């Protein structure tokens, strides 16, 4: 490149970056949209509203939650990936949007790594195995025996194809050697209600999501999917303890911005989110939904995703899971 051409290119770069730098210094000057990729009332929605409330207080601008369910979160993720990288659009990402979907969909429409700026990992969520309370089973082994004996019982629900709970069911089928039929729903509440009503035999879901129906006598909790027992259900065995060796499934929540969002904005968002999840108020609210809050740097979230994406891609390949 000739000297004059090089000078012109440098000047163009400076002119392009200057408005972004100025914007980052004054940001935020208007409301921010926090896109939640699932229906209202579910765990991701609770996390989104909790984080949005904390950010609004810290930043001095409203943070508006916008629920955009569809395709296991892919609809919302595509929307945010294509949004202006100005710090005014955020995504409440999950294990589905930024790990599982990459192996599940052939034409996802976004790249979990290349199309986003990671902000922070928010926390981990233990899942649990619930069955309809009318089924004659009180343990995981009794459920397995029933599934092997009665093909009519071989159905499991989930909030949608590609959700962590969908993959938990696929993992279960693979480890016990019994083919199961996945019944996807458009959200967590509907899936829980249909299992409670006996329309579907069982499901994996966030631990706290089904506890109300357990207390009402409509669901039975058989096991948790973590490697160790959890404080919220200390008498409930892990799947591994219950005889399904090698079973572990922990969902997670994180926050992302569109690729190209200025580093100064990402750093400010990270600072405020990490600070908020350390407060007793947020920890208590998150704990009520079964979330173990952590907080992380953007780079730590990227490193974590780089391990998660191939892990779930292998399970999807092995199980033959499809985006129903």
Instruction: Return the pLDDT at 206.
Output: 87
Average pLDDT over residues 216-220: 97
Residue 210 lies in a domain: yes
SS3 for 182-248 is EEECCCHHHHHHHHHCCCCCEEEEEHHHHHHHHHCCCEEEEEECCCCCCCCCCCCCECCCCCCCCCC
Residue 23 lies in a domain: no
Q: Are strands 155-158 and 89-94 parallel, antiparallel or unpaired?
A: unpaired
> Are 110 and 256 members of one domain?
yes
Position 46 in a domain: yes
Residue 192 CB coordination number (10 Å):
25
Cβ proximity of 239 and 245 under 8 Å: no
Asked if 257 and 217 sit in the same domain, the reply is: no
Tell me which of 10-24, 39-53, 159-173, 260-274 is least confident: 10-24
Q: Are residues 260 and 314 in the same domain?
A: yes
Q: What is the pLDDT of residue 297?
A: 97
Give the count of domains, the chain: 2
114 lies in the same domain as 150: no
Paired sense of beta strands 202-206 and 219-224, if any = unpaired
Question: Residue 286 has what pLDDT?
Answer: 87
- Cα 216 to Cα 90, 193, 320, distances in angstroms: 37, 12, 36
Task: Tell me the average pLDDT across 161-180.
Answer: 90
What was the pLDDT predicted at 160?
79
Q: Judge whether 180 lies within some domain.
A: yes
pLDDT at 324: 62
Q: Are residues 36 and 118 in the same domain?
A: yes
Pick from 285, 286, 217, 263: nearest CA to 87: 263
Check residues 230 and 222 and name the one with the higher pLDDT. Answer: 222
Q: Are residues 134 and 107 in the same domain?
A: no
pLDDT per residue over 113-145, tens digit each? 999 999 999 999 889 999 999 999 999 999 999
- What is the model's pLDDT at position 290? 78
Q: Domain containing 267: what range?
A: 29-125+251-319
Question: Is residue 295's pLDDT more than 90?
Answer: yes
Percent of the chain at pLDDT > 90 equals 69
Identify the band that residue 22 occupies on the pLDDT scale cut at 50, 70 and 90.
low
| Bond before 28 cis per omega within 30 degrees | yes
Instruction: Report the pLDDT value the prediction gives residue 15, as an integer from 0 to 100.
Output: 58
Measured between alpha carbons, how far is 286 from 51 in angstroms, rounded to an integer? 10
Q: What is the mean pLDDT of residues 145-149?
A: 98
Domain harbouring 170, CATH code: 3.40.190.10
- Whether residues 133 and 53 share a domain: the answer is no
pLDDT in tens, 301-317: 999 999 999 989 988 88
Matching residue, tokens 């989104």:
48
Q: Does the pLDDT value for residue 7 go beyond 90?
A: no
By C-alpha distance, which of 63, 79, 81, 28 is closest to 258?
81
Nearest by Cα to 112 from 316, 312, 302, 297: 302
Q: In this structure, what are the phi and psi dihedrals at residue 110, rounded to the nearest 5 degrees?
A: -160, 160
**40 in a structural domain:** yes
Q: What is the pLDDT of residue 4?
A: 58
168, pLDDT greater than 90: yes
Distance CA 84, CA 150 (A): 53
Strands 63-67 and 32-36, bridge-based pairing: parallel
The answer to whether position 243 is within a domain reads no
Query: Does 16 fall in a domain?
Result: no
Higher pLDDT residue, 135 or 232? Answer: 135
Query: Average pLDDT, stretch 35-56?
Result: 92
Mean pLDDT of the chain: 90
């Amino acid at each position: 490149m000739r000297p004059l051409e090089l000078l012109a290119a440098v000047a163009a770069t400076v002119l392009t970056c200057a408005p972004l730098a100025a914007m980052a210094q004054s940001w935020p000057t208007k409301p921010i949209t926090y896109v939640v990729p699932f229906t209202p009332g579910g765990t991701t929605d609770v996390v989104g509203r909790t984080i949005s409330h904390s950010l609004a207080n810290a930043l001095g601008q409203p943070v508006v939650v916008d629920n955009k369910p569809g395709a296991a979160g892919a609809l919302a993720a595509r929307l945010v990936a294509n949004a202006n990288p100005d710090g005014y659009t955020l995504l409440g990402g999950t294990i589905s949007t930024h790990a599982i979907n990459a192996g599940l969909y052939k034409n996802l429409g976004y790249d979990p790594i290349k199309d986003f700026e990671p902000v922070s990992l928010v926390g981990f969520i233990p899942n649990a195995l619930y069955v309809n309370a009318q089924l004659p089973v009180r343990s995981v082994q009794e459920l397995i025996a029933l599934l092997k004996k009665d093909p009519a019982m071989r159905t499991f629900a989930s909030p949608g194809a590609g959700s962590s709970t969908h993959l938990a069911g696929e993992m279960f089928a693979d480890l016990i050697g019994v083919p199961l039929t996945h019944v996807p729903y458009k959200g967590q509440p509907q899936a829980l209600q249909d299992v409670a009503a006996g329309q579907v035999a069982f499901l994996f879901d966030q631990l706290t999501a089904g506890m109300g129906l357990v207390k009402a006598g409509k669901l039975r909790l058989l096991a948790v999917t973590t490697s160790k027992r959890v404080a919220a259900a200390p008498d409930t065995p892990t799947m591994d303890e219950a005889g399904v060796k090698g079973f572990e499934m922990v969902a997670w929540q994180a926050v992302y911005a569109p690729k190209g969002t200025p580093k100064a904005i990402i750093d400010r968002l990270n600072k405020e989110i990490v600070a908020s999840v350390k407060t007793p108020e947020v920890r208590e609210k998150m704990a009520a939904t079964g979330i173990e809050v952590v907080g992380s740097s953007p780079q730590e979230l990227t490193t974590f995703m780089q391990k998660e994406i191939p892990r779930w891609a292998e399970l999807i390949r092995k199980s033959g899971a499809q985006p129903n």
